[in-house]
Amino acid sequence: MDERSYHTGIADSNGARYAILTGDPGRVGTIARLLENPRFLNQNREYVTWAGELSGEPALVTSTGIGGPSAAICVEELFAAGIRTFIRVGTCGGMASGVSGGDVVIANAAIRMEGTTKEYVPVEFPAVSDIAVTNALIEASKTSGARWHCGVVHCKDSFFGQHDPERMPAGHELRDKWRAWIMAGCLASEMESAAVFIVSQILGARAGCVLNVVWNQERERPDLSVSGGVAANAPLAAAVAVEAVRILIRGGAGASRPEGA
């Protein structure tokens, strides 16, 4: 009998308790090569998985595809396979004026402006990262040489709802909420963090999120003369995530949330 999970195609984690998640399947091999002894494990649908080791511990790198539904499936199936700590690596668009293309953003919480997590827990429950994972990402960022920020990100379902709200019947609501998030200090916008945080929380796993800023559309507005640049991919965020896993392993705090935490 084939016991592989239906979507990711992973039967077990090969002893790994840590997984680095990235949206783009094409990015998995590149990130996995930052591990020791990287090797292809499986591909099914949008889920590509490689295995490797970090500081003697096995680890996985898996793609989630775009958006909350596929990210939630990935976390569920990898948890069932044995993963207990998840770090999302991805790209984002800056929102706060101080966030520029090429910067790194560590998400310690996500605005749940998406639909997946509402089928797990009412929207009043916050989507937050695990503090140990977040602290490891901060420590790794400090030694990376990158310009980094830590704070709240906006998690959405519609890419074009953000970038072209004028043609959407719900555009007025999208624009009003966008301005509200910026006024409240939201750093950046992306599409998977809330699902990773909420599903991990409910399963009893740990989760963190680190993002490379591709660009900042707010800095492109006429009242700001400096665009802040554009970054094409997520190499800095990937390096930060890999080092954060090493920090967590060295800390010896275990790979799952402590009881009562």
In angstroms, the CA 71 to CA 63 distance is: 8
How large a percentage of the chain has pLDDT more than 90? 76
Q: For residue 225, what pLDDT is reported?
A: 40
In angstroms, the CA 217 to CA 237 distance is: 20
Express each pLDDT in 63-113 by its tens digit. Answer: 999 999 999 999 999 999 999 999 999 999 999 999 998 999 999 999 999
Q: For residue 252, what pLDDT is reported?
A: 75
Question: Cβ contacts of residue 153 below 8 Å, gap of 6+?
Answer: 92, 105, 107, 109, 110, 111, 186, 187, 188, 189, 190, 193, 209, 211
Query: Which residue in the block uniquely carries the two structure tokens 């799952």?
Result: 256
Higher pLDDT, 121 or 215: 121
Domain map of the chain by residue range? 18-251
Is residue 114 a contact partner of residue 68, using CB atoms and an 8 Å limit?
yes
Confidence of residue 260 (pLDDT cuts 50, 70, 90): very low
Express each pLDDT in 99-130 by its tens digit. Answer: 998 999 999 999 999 999 999 999 999 999 99
Pick the CATH number of 18-251 from 3.90.1150.10, 3.30.70.370, 3.40.50.1580, 3.40.50.800: 3.40.50.1580
Give helix 131-142 / helix 235-251 axis angle, nearest 10°.
Answer: 120
